[in-house]
Chain A
Amino acid sequence: MNLWILLGIFLAVPLLLLMFGVGAFNRLVELKNRFENAFSQIDVQLRRRYDLIPNLVETAKAYMSHERETLEAVIQARNGAVSAEKRAAANPGDPAALAGLMGAESVLGGALGRLMVVAEQYPDLKANQNMMQLSEELTTTENKIAFARQAYNDSVTTYNTARESVPTNLIAGVFNFGEAPLFEIDDDAVRETPQVSFG
């Protein structure tokens, strides 16, 4: 009988440990996948917005040739955001890359905001059909970004909570599941841009 008891313990303990470990590991992978997928949703919309901006600037140029600086600032901020986005998309979950993107995004938001304020002084531009359509699309895209960002932050929070809770944190430590960063933008600056109405 001794043999059987020994065998039982020998079998049960490692098996239980293994099953727990695999379970915790899988859950972390799943949550990580989820927030990375959520990030790619933001990514899709960000790119869409970066594609819209040059058109917007092109249209505005015809009416406000005296505001070259403002326009150039927008293009520059956009280009900065594009490369920051590429970096962040290449390593989702990397705090430094995401911080870069957040910074670039708020610069872009500020530049766009200034452009919109200046544009207010040009009634012809405001009445331009193309401009109205572009700014409408920009608004919609901003809204989609905000929604996707909320989903991303929710799934990052779930992941971080799981990562820090006992006993999953043991597995997270061993297999290097790092803390994932939240995606927060200086919301007011960004929100102001699309709210300017060209109606």
Chain B
Amino acid sequence: MDFFEHQAAARKTSTRLVVLFGLALLGLTAGVYGLFSVLDMFNVRTAGVDSGVRFAAFDPLRLVLALALTGAFVGGGSAIRTYQLRGGGRVVAESMGARLISNAPRDAAEQRALNVVEEMAIASGSPVPPVYLLDKEDGINAFAAGYGPNDAVIGLTRGALESFSRQELQGVVGHEFSHILNGDMRLNLRLIGYLHGILLMTLFGRMLFYLGAHSPRIGRGRGGGSDKGAAPAFALGLGLLALGSIGHLFARLIQSAISRQREYLADASAVQFTRSVDGIAGALERLGGHAAGSRLYAPNAEEAAHMMFGSTGKWNLASFFSTHPPLDKRVARLRGLSKEQLARMGALKRSTRTSESGPGLALGLAGGESGMGWSDPEVVGLAAGSLTDEDVDYARDLLERIPPALRAAVVEPFEARAVIYALLLSGDPGLRREELVRLEAHADGRTYTATARLAPLTEALDPRLRLPLLELAARPLREMSARQYQAFRANLEMLVMSDQRVTPFEHALRGVILCQLDPLFGGRDLRRLGRLRLRDRLEEVGVVLSMVAHGAGRADRALDTAWGAGRQHLPPGLPVQPLDLRDADAAFERSLGRLWDLRPAELRLLLEALWLAAVSDGEVRVVEAELFRAVAAALACPMPPLLAGQPVEAGVLPAV
């Protein structure tokens, strides 16, 4: 099997396993129904023949009760788990005693880790996750925790920081990003929630069993008229205890098997993201040779075991319950890649989309709502499958060119806010002065001073660096309190609207902030499943595509080529010529607002069409990159970003 077949196989296997998990839950329900039937039969018999009560093999009420009981426990367990993780990945990281290093890296090793994470985030078009360090852990390990890209965090142990080379660290971070982008955390959260529910059911059964067994009436002799309550409770408890135990065993076996498949998948994705086997395989080999291995000592490490890079150590002996495949097997799969296969990767990466139906389907089955943008198979496929080493290198290059003073400013919220304000200041000196005056009045003096200090830097900034800088600034902004965020949003709106028009960059900025931060501060979570198709919104699609096609002043042939490239990718019905946009900014904004309700698969089509239009002349302009980011962010799709100045091939889509 070659590498991409491995990847496809891992996806397929985990889909099957999730189906199996669902069947196990159904089996559990059937078991509970059977248990109720037995109890009913017992009831009918003790009531006597003359009571007129008959036993029926199928009783709708009994079925409803069986469903309700299983549902209450499994659903309740899942709800409790979900609730616990509501605070996002940071809660998991902090409960393990990890320290946030994003704000204040203390040494070169920490800084290097932050750089690697930032590069990977920029290159994959996902928010920059906060990075946590497990200071006291000498074992080599890493984890990703959280619910989705917006609240994900990445954690590394001190051992990992110190033993890995940069390349290996990149491989490991790529592995964790795969967990984030593939929706593994959400899937695992669900499965573990159900497991938790089954466990609760077992405990409840045990409680009933004891209550029944210790009831004084039972001691006085069975079959008496008054122990009607105790004996069935005893029997029901015993039954639930047995069913729950068996169910838990099976469910946990399946859950571990799924987890192992996702590890293979993440290993494979790490290679794809970094285009290097040596990184991830080297990291795994180092882990095998390390004295402390991947063992963790933090009391809550088990919580995040499924998200770890290597197993946390406790389950190593029982390989069936292990959340991670054995190291040698993982390395063998990676190292088994022949030279020829590696050489083919460039070509092969375009064909991976055929095998992308795994995770989304799996998620849809496991939980009611697979509606989050990135858990959609197609969207995830495009994002995860197309990140390449060129992307990562280009992202790294961009980040290195951001002036140090600005990079230093975007590590904590106070100045990151000022950077955002400074980025929004108008180029026109008069208007700029007016904006600063308003900022001084609405924000406080300190914010004004910081903004004024940073403004010359952002003004002189290469426009291609604006978007990456924005992505970096969004991370520390999460540290604000709700009240501070409200003030920030108000000022943001003021600066965007001060010149009565919204530029592509302002669209992108607003989109990124809205999409990444609003949900954290109680705003509407925009990641949801739309129902509309592109043909229902042709007018808006036309406007957005026209904007991108016009790009930075394309005209005549070039304009027609760009328009045509996008148009032929979309359903029929768009005019032959691009729209002549009079009030382009307003039309763009209105259209963006009306594209929310598209289905994820249709969104992907639209983004692909925009991509094709943008790269139709083999060049990515700043304005195109910003429009593209605006659409992707506003529609909450993680997309490999079009980075301005990036080398692209005309007519070629990523991962298609």
Contact B104 A15 (CB under 8 A): no
Could you tell me the distance between the alpha carbons of A12 and B104 in the complex, rounded to whole angstroms? 49
**B residues in contact with A152, CB < 8 Å:** 481
Cβ of A174 under 8 Å from chain B: no
Q: With a CB–CB cut-off of 8 A, which chain B residues contact A167? A: none
Kindly provide the distance from the CB of B214 to the nearest chain A CB, expressed in whole angstroms.
15
* Interface residue? B253 (CB, 8 A): no
Q: Is B361 an interface residue (CB 8 A)?
A: no
Give bound CA distance, A147 to B76, whole Å.
40
A38–B83 alpha-carbon span in the complex (Å): 21
The reply to whether B90 and A144 form a contact with Cβ atoms under 8 Å apart is no
User: Are A154 and B483 in contact, with the CB atoms below 8 A?
Assistant: yes
Is there an interface contact between B83 and A26, defined as CB atoms closer than 8 Å?
yes
Chain B neighbourhood of A48, CB < 8 A: 104
Among B228-236, B375-383, B526-534, the stretch that binds chain A is B228-236
Kindly provide the distance from the CB of B264 to the nearest chain A CB, expressed in whole angstroms.
33
Q: Does A22 contact B (CB under 8 A)?
A: yes
CA distance A19 to B479 in the complex (A): 29
Q: Does B414 contact A (CB under 8 A)?
A: yes
Flag if B76 contacts A15 (CB, 8 Å): yes
Q: Which residues of A contact B104 (CB under 8 A)?
A: 44, 47-48
Q: How many residues of A contact B (CB 8 A)?
A: 37
Most chain-B Cβ atoms within 10 A of its Cβ — which of A22, A41, A48, A150? Answer: A41
Contacts A4-B65, A44-B103: A38 and B87 contacting too (C-beta < 8 A)?
A: no
Tell me if B86 and A147 are in contact (CB < 8 A).
Answer: no
Which secondary structure dominates chain B's binding surface?
helix
Asked if A6 and B229 sit within 8 Å, CB to CB, the answer is: yes
Contact of B484 among A37, A45, A150 (CB under 8 A): A150
**Is A120's CB within 8 Å of the partner chain B?**
no
Question: Quick check: A143 and B446 within 8 Å, CB to CB?
Answer: yes
Indicate if the CB atoms of B415 and A144 lie closer than 8 Å: yes
Complex formed: what's the CA distance from A155 to B39 in Å?
A: 52
Contact with B along A142-184 (1 / 0, CB 8 A): 0110111011101100100000000000000000000000000
Is B43 part of the binding interface, using a Cβ–Cβ cutoff of 8 Å?
yes
B480 located at the interface, meaning its Cβ lies under 8 Å from any Cβ of chain A in the complex: yes
Of B61, B76, B103, which one neighbours A41 at CB under 8 angstroms?
B103
Which B residues are CB-close (under 8 A) to A30? 86-87, 91
Q: Could you tell me if B72 and A148 are in contact, using CB atoms closer than 8 angstroms?
A: no
- For residue B103, which residues in chain A have a CB less than 8 angstroms away from its CB? 41, 44
Judge whether B482 and A154 touch: CB under 8 Å. yes
Q: Cβ of B446: which chain A residues have Cβ within 8 Å of it?
A: 143, 146-147
Interface presence of A133 (CB below 8 A): no
Which residues of chain B in 96-131 are interfacial with respect to chain A, using CB atoms and an 8 Å cutoff? 99-100, 103-104
Measured CB to CB, the closest approach of chain B to A14, in angstroms, equals 8
B412 partner residues in chain A, CB cutoff 8 A = 41, 44-45, 144, 148
A33 to B89, CA, bound (A): 12
Q: Measured between alpha carbons, how far is A147 from B488 in the docked complex, in Å?
A: 12
A140 and B450 form a contact (CB under 8 A): yes
Instruction: Report whether A11 and B484 are in contact in the complex, using a CB–CB cutoff of 8 Å.
Output: no
Q: Which of chain B's residues have a CB closer than 8 A to the CB of A45?
A: 412
Kindly state whether residue B341 has any CB partner on chain A within 8 Å. Answer: no
Q: Are A7 and B236 in contact (CB under 8 A)?
A: yes
**Which residues of B are found within 8 Å of A143, using beta-carbon distances?**
414, 446, 449-450
In angstroms, Cα B39 to Cα A150, docked, is 61
User: A15, B72: Cβ atoms under 8 Å?
Assistant: yes
Is A13 an interface position by the 8 A CB rule? no
Interface digits, A22-41 against B, CB 8 Å rule (1 contact, 0 not)? Answer: 11001001100110111011
Note all chain B residues with C-beta closer than 8 A to A144: 412, 414-415
Q: Which of A28-64 contact B (CB under 8 A)?
A: 29-30, 33-34, 36-38, 40-41, 44-45, 47-48
Closest to A34 in B: B87
A33 touches B87 (CB 8 A): yes
Contacts of B80 in A (CB 8 A): 19, 22-23, 26
Q: Answer yes or no: A3 CB below 8 A from chain B CBs.
A: yes
A151-B413 in contact given A4-B65, A41-B479 (Cβ < 8 Å): yes
Q: How far is the CA of A29 from the CA of B76 in the complex (A)?
A: 19
Which B residues are in CB contact (< 8 Å) with A148?
412-414, 479
A169 to chain B, nearest CB (A): 19
B414 and A26 form a contact (CB under 8 A) = no
For residue B483, give the distance in angstroms from its CB to the closest CB of chain A.
5
Give the docked Cα–Cα distance between A44 and B110 (Å): 15
Most buried by B among A2, A144, A155: A144
Report the bound CA distance from A12 to B65 in whole Å: 12
Give, as a whole number of angstroms, the nearest-CB distance from B177 to chain A. Answer: 23
Contact check, A147 vs B414: say whether CB atoms are below 8 A apart: yes
Q: How far is the CA of A177 from the CA of B252 in the complex (A)?
A: 34
In the complex, the answer to whether B76 meets A38 with C-beta atoms within 8 Å is no
Q: A34 to B88: give the CA distance in the assembly, Å.
A: 11
Chain A CB within 10 Å — which of B103, B229, B415, B481 has the most? B481
Contact code string B68-82 (vs A, CB < 8 Å = 1, else 0): 010010001001100
Alpha-carbon distance between A173 and B358 when the two chains are bound, in angstroms: 47
CB <8 Å contact, A38 and B479: yes
Q: How far is the CA of A11 from the CA of B100 in the complex (A)?
A: 42
Decide: B481 and A37 in contact? CB cutoff 8 A: no
5 contacts between A and B (CB under 8 A): A37-B94, A37-B479, A40-B99, A41-B412, A151-B480
Given contacts A23-B80, A143-B446, A144-B412, 4 further A-B contacts (CB under 8 A): A15-B76, A38-B481, A41-B412, A143-B449
Sort A-B residue pairs by CB-CB distance and give the 10 closest, nearest first: A154-B481, A147-B414, A151-B481, A30-B87, A143-B446, A44-B104, A144-B414, A154-B483, A22-B80, A26-B84
